[in-house]
Amino acid sequence: MACINWKSIIARVFVTAVILTASFPVLAQWSASISQGEILQPWEQHLAVLQSLSGLISAADSVESSAQIATELTTLEADIGAFGQEIEKFIYRLAGEPAYVYVVAETSLALSARLAKVHAQFHSLYLSLGVGEREDVITAQASLDALRKILRRKIKFENDVTNALGSGARTQIIGVANRWWIGKTKSDEVRNLAASLRQQLEGVTASEASE
């Protein structure tokens, strides 16, 4: 798992905060518009769903169905990975671009678009597995879509970034970055599980095909 270079981030945050303090009022108090729970919950829930489905996935009853599910998992890996890369770009721009506050809405829309693809791919996977109507699947998908909608509307994401940068306090800027990094780390767990399940399926498919 990649580790964020906080030493580098802190140094860049300090420079950014000094520049921005002249333009934005320092806030006496600040609380996040997008909570850690809203960022984490979709990934925690989908991780639990995939874990519960591991037996069903590994027991795919034909080469064709195994190959189909493996393809679904491959696409899911790629989509979650692209979301993680967008988070990394956001963190480094947050720390290193004084003018970033004026274009942060673009990042919110980009993250929303990435989550839309992840949501659609989960739907496709669960449909292939015949579990789309399960309560835990519906709940996980609803949480993911709720986060997508928050980001699509932009306002809360913009508020978190502008309030943190405008405060001139590097702890608040790092707090925003850290919340999203924790969410990215949890999404990596989902991606890694999808990869593991895919590898198991590919092994089964290769074995059956050679018989």
Q: What confidence tens digit (pLDDT) does each residue in 69-84 have?
A: 999 999 999 999 999 9
Per-domain boundaries in the chain? 33-202
- CA 123, 104, 15, 167 dihedral sign is negative
Residue 50 vs residue 65, higher pLDDT: 50
pLDDT at 21 over 70: no
Q: How confident is the model at residue 61 (pLDDT cuts 50, 70, 90)?
A: low
Determine whether 136 is exposed, middle or buried from the number of CB atoms within 10 Å of its CB (0-12, 13-18, 19+): middle
Percent of the chain with pLDDT over 90: 64
Closest CA to 84 of 168, 8, 191, 195: 191
Q: CA-CA distance, 109 to 105, in Å (whole number)?
A: 6
Q: What confidence tens digit (pLDDT) does each residue in 189-202 have?
A: 999 999 999 998 88
Q: State residue 5 phi and psi, 5-degree precision.
A: -85, 85
Of 22-26, 176-180, 188-192, give the lowest mean pLDDT range.
22-26
Tokens of 86: 């967008």
pLDDT at position 28: 36
Q: CA-CA distance, 23 to 154, in Å (whole number)?
A: 21
pTM above 0.85, yes or no: no
Closest CA to 31 of 195, 136, 163: 163
Q: For residues 75-98, b (16+ Cβ closer than 10 Å) or e, as one string?
A: bbbebbbebbebbeebbbbbbeee
CA distances to 61, 63, 108, 176, 202 from 127, rounded to whole Å, are: 16, 18, 28, 35, 20
